[in-house]
Chains A and B, each alone.
Chain A
Amino acid sequence: MKTLIAFCTTLPLILMTTVGQPSAAVASDAMEIIQKSQAAFFEAGQDLKARIKMTLMTREGQQRLRELTMLRKNFPAGEQKYFLYFHSPADVSGTIFMVYKYPVKDDDRWLFIPALNLVQRVAARDSRSSFVGSDFSYEDVSGRDVEADIHQVLRTEALGSRQTVVIESVPTREADYAKKVSWIDQVTFLPLKEEYYDVQGALYKVFTADEIRDVQGLPTATKRTMTNVKTGHKTDVVLDAVAYNVGLGDEIFTERALRRPPEKWLK
């Protein structure tokens, strides 16, 4: 039985009960905390299999659904491979995104379109591209090079029942934000909340981890929301059937598997 560790919704400031100044030790560790956070959020386990439901909502309440299976495997030197198979909606059913993610250089990215039986290479700028029309960018889905930003601890504070370190990240390389502020859980290192600011310094995107579950001893954000404050568009993500260390083979992450997806892992 998975344990529910915490349940946080978008928290009003009123709930932030304790606000403290960062100690010198914590401040110098900003980079280390971000690294641990990325590891906990994007790299937990040797591999991962999860069923993901995305709900895209306009301000007016119109909804669109995306349901996919995510297979992810970690490789040496921080390299990762992703295989994302779309179950719905009907017009993208069977579509596959495959990503080879590298710590520094550009990702290799493939798209398989089943109606055309066509494998394409995709040119996309991580930082700016929306993932399948959602409020999440590719980077939000698979992580950003930690060295592409300068990180600084602002303070420590409680967010709901969790103690967090608040870190400000300012990009030195291309990004879709001018500043990001992250509330990182001091125990699990998962980001519980992130605020994205544009070049005018205005808040435009807010991420919240709404449910954290313990899966095989690994804290996992199983409900997440990204809200575009400017447009009112919002994307809810729910991770179901999360399993770590399932033994994904390297053959899953090949061009051949795009044309003939590994059904065993997609159920």
Chain B
Amino acid sequence: MLRLVIFLASVVLWVHSSRSLSHASDVSAENLSIHGFLQANYDMRVTGQQPSNPQGGDLLFGEERFQLRLGYSKEKFRLFTRTDLFYDHVDNRPGFESREAYAEGTVGSSDLRAGRQILIWGVGDYLFINDIFAKDWGAFFSGRPVEYLRVPQNAAKLDWGTTAVSAEIVAIPFFQEDKLPSRSSFVQFDPFSGVARTTQQPAMEFQNTELAARFYGTTWGFDTALYLYRGFFRMPALQPNSMTAPTLVTETFPRLAVYGASTRGNALGGVVSAEVGFYDSLNDQAGHNPAIPNSSFRYLAGYQQQPWEDFTVGLQYYGELMFHYDAYRATLPSGFPSQDQHRQLMTLRLTQLFWNQTLRVGLFAFYSPTDQDYYLIPEVRYSISDNLWVSATGNVFGGRRTTTFFGQFGANDNLAVTVRYEF
């Protein structure tokens, strides 16, 4: 461990010294950028409850992490890498993660970016309709910095634009599922408790390449976009080998198409946003297969305002309207918790900045009136200097039942602390 710390400290020192040297070298300093951070991040469960055979006891997450961001650009060509090295105290082992690594070229008014990249679409705040890219909910629920909610994807992206309309077309040949909180760390609901599991990801075949497109522009002050996606659900659908006495459950990822739109702009003294999406469950459009999610219509409306200096309030209302609900109810195995036909969710974000914006106190709250569950994320973050910040984040879950999305995590309330030195 000490060796790792010494190694990382020397890399930071080297980066600092080489940055000043690069001004004198052949490579122009403007074209080469070196940044990164050293970070410690620990997250403890505070409820006293644990799953059976917990992997890290009450330590849901704990690591020291070093990130190096290298960028190089020359005229119409650009390379960028974001690479993390870390020591994981839950698994007790060092690790390596490539967060981004891509090459990008410009031809005329088009850019082509190929490689590992992080993609974000839509106008929701922690609510995603047309943002169909992979998420890491385990990272989110355990108080990791919010950028780790995003799972990088290996993809090719074509970006074309004029001043009026732009388009992004993404091809993802390698399927990446959402990462859910692990069963060995988080106490959670499992409808097939104790049954062996296997995962069946879409095969890497040409016809399984996911395609996503976004057409967007700003008109009359409103950022408006249309979205198309053809690919797969990223949350696993559970397929038991027998409904009555299953011995094996297969996690599958049924085919999905999404057609959607969003808009966002100034109105009513703040910023309003709206987004809709039609989720077309291509493998079960009639809704007869209980192991495949039904098609649905999803919507959200949001409003954000600053009532006084350095204080911001954000509100969102989200809904999922399931199609073929009768077929869903008719085929749902007995004993399984049923989802509402119109699942709804509200969110509230409060942020107050103090001391020339160096101290941030915030709360993000999810509440579902249909699931009757909630998830609260209080946060305090202080920038000690331009390079050093420290934060404490809580994750508080609860609900009337332990079978709903947030309610199932009620035994996992946790508190995370993070210290980061940026360079």
Task: Identify the A interface with B (CB < 8 A).
Answer: 56, 58, 64-65, 88-91, 93, 100, 105-108, 115-119, 121-125, 128-130, 132-134, 176, 233, 250-251, 254-256, 259-260, 263, 267
Q: Are A121 and B166 neighbours in the complex by a CB distance under 8 Å?
A: no
Chain B: minimal CB distance from A29 (Å): 33
Q: Is the CB of B309 within 8 A of A254?
A: no
Identify which of B111, B273, B305, B386 contacts A260 (C-beta below 8 A): B111
Give me 11 other A-B pairs in contact (C-beta within 8 A), A133-B358, A134-B356 excluded. A89-B386, A91-B383, A106-B269, A117-B118, A121-B273, A123-B304, A123-B305, A129-B310, A254-B161, A255-B166, A267-B30
Complex: A134 Cα to B383 Cα, angstroms = 14
Question: Does any Cβ of A come within 8 Å of B184's Cβ?
Answer: no
Whether B306 contacts A121 by the Cβ 8 Å rule is no
For window 289-346 of chain B, which residues contact chain A by CB distance below 8 Å?
304-306, 308-310, 312
Given A91-B389, A100-B221, A260-B111, answer yes or no on A124-B150 (Cβ-Cβ < 8 Å). Answer: no
B223 touching A121, Cβ below 8 Å: yes
B221 touches A108 (CB 8 A): yes
| Pairwise interchain contact A256-B159, C-beta atoms closer than 8 A | yes
Give the size category of B's interface with A: 35 or more
Chain B 246-279 against A: per-residue CB contact (8 Å), 1 yes, 0 no?
0000000000000000001110011101000000
- Specify which chain B residues have a CB less than 8 angstroms from the CB of A88 in the assembled complex: 386
Q: How far is the CB of A103 from chain B (nearest CB, A)?
A: 14
Least Cβ–Cβ distance between B214 and chain A, in angstroms: 11
Q: Top 9 nearest A-B pairs by Cβ distance?
A: A133-B357, A89-B386, A90-B422, A128-B309, A133-B356, A123-B270, A91-B422, A123-B271, A256-B161
Q: Give, as a whole number of angstroms, the nearest-CB distance from B199 to chain A.
A: 28
The docked-state distance in angstroms from the alpha carbon of A30 to that of B45 is: 64
Interface residues of B (CB under 8 A from A): 30, 35, 37, 73, 109, 111, 118-120, 146-147, 150, 159, 161-163, 166, 216-218, 221, 223, 264-266, 269-271, 273, 304-306, 308-310, 312, 353, 356-358, 383, 385-387, 389, 420, 422-423
Contact of A121 among B118, B269, B271, B309 (CB under 8 A): B271
B356 adjacent to A121 (CB under 8 Å): no
- Residues of chain B within 8 A (CB-CB) of A116 are 118, 120, 146-147, 150
Cα of A254 to Cα of B162 in the assembled complex, Å: 9
Are A129 and B309 interface neighbours, CB within 8 A?
Answer: yes
Judging by beta carbons under 8 Å apart, are A91 and B159 in contact?
A: no
Docked CA distance A117–B168 (Å): 14
Give the distance in Å from the alpha carbon of A119 to the alpha carbon of B146 in the complex.
Answer: 15
Contact residue among B120, B217, B309 (Cβ-Cβ distance under 8 Å from A118): B120
In the complex, which residue of chain B has the Cβ closest to the Cβ of A108? Answer: B221
Docked CA distance A65–B383 (Å): 13
Residue of B30, B162, B266, B422 contacting most chain A CB atoms (<10 Å): B266
Q: How far is the CB of B131 from chain A (nearest CB, A)?
A: 10
| Contact, CB under 8 Å: B387 / A91 | yes
* Closest residue on chain B to residue A121 by CB atoms: B271
User: 13 A-B pairs, CB-CB below 8 angstroms?
Assistant: A58-B356, A88-B386, A106-B269, A116-B120, A117-B119, A119-B223, A121-B304, A123-B304, A128-B308, A132-B357, A134-B356, A256-B159, A256-B166
Query: A133 — nearest CB in chain B belongs to which residue?
Result: B357
Q: Residue among A65, A108, A251, A259 with the most chain B CB within 10 A?
A: A108
Q: Which residues of B contact A176 (CB under 8 A)?
A: 309
Q: Is the CB of A115 within 8 A of B159?
A: no
Most chain B CB neighbours (cut-off 10 Å) among A115, A116, A251: A115
Taking a contact as CB atoms under 8 Å apart, the answer to whether A130 and B264 are in contact is no
A162 nearest CB across to chain B (Å): 31
One of B30, B159, B422 near A89 (C-beta < 8 A): B422
Report A-chain residues with C-beta under 8 Å of the C-beta of B163.
Answer: 250-251, 254
| Residues of chain A lying within 8 A (CB to CB) of residue B111 | 260
CB distance A115 to B147 under 8 Å? yes
Least CB distance, A130 to chain B, in whole angstroms:
6
Contacts of B30 in A (CB 8 A): 263, 267
Say whether A91 contacts B386, CB under 8 Å. Answer: yes
Q: In the assembly, what is the distance between CA of A124 and CA of B305, in Å?
A: 7
Give Cα A118 to B37, complex, Å: 20
Q: Which residues of A contact B308 (CB under 8 A)?
A: 128
**B147-A90 in contact (CB<8A):** no
Chain A residues positioned under 8 Å from B312 (CB to CB): 123
- Contact assessment for B387 and A89 in the assembled complex, using a CB-CB cutoff below 8 Å: yes
Q: Given A90-B387, A121-B264, A123-B306, decide whether A254 and B218 contact each other with a Cβ distance below 8 A.
A: yes
Cα A118 to Cα B356 with chains together (Å): 24
A67–B41 Cα distance when bound, in Å, is: 28
> Within 8 Å CB of A106, what residues of B?
266, 269
Residue from A64, A122, A128, A251 within 8 A of B386 (CB atoms)? A64
Of B147, B218, B304, which contacts A255 at CB under 8 A?
B218
| Min C-beta distance of B368 to chain A, whole Å | 24
Given contacts A90-B423, A233-B356, A256-B159, contact A121 B120 (CB under 8 A): no
Chain B residues closer than 8 Å to A130, beta-carbon distance = 309-310, 356-357
Q: What residues of B have a CB within 8 angstroms of the CB of A125 in the complex? A: 306, 309
Q: Which of B305, B356, B386 contacts A65 (CB 8 A)?
A: B386
Cα–Cα distance between A128 and B305 once the two chains are bound (Å) = 13
A90 touches B386 (CB 8 A): yes
Q: Which residue of A is nearest B266, CB measured?
A: A106
Q: How far is the CA of A132 from the CA of B161 in the complex (A)?
A: 30
Please, how many angstroms separate the alpha-carbon atoms of A108 and B267 in the complex?
Answer: 10
Chain A residues with CB below 8 A from B306, complex form: 123-125, 128-129
B109 partner residues in chain A, CB cutoff 8 A: 251
User: Cβ of B269: which chain A residues have Cβ within 8 Å of it?
Assistant: 106
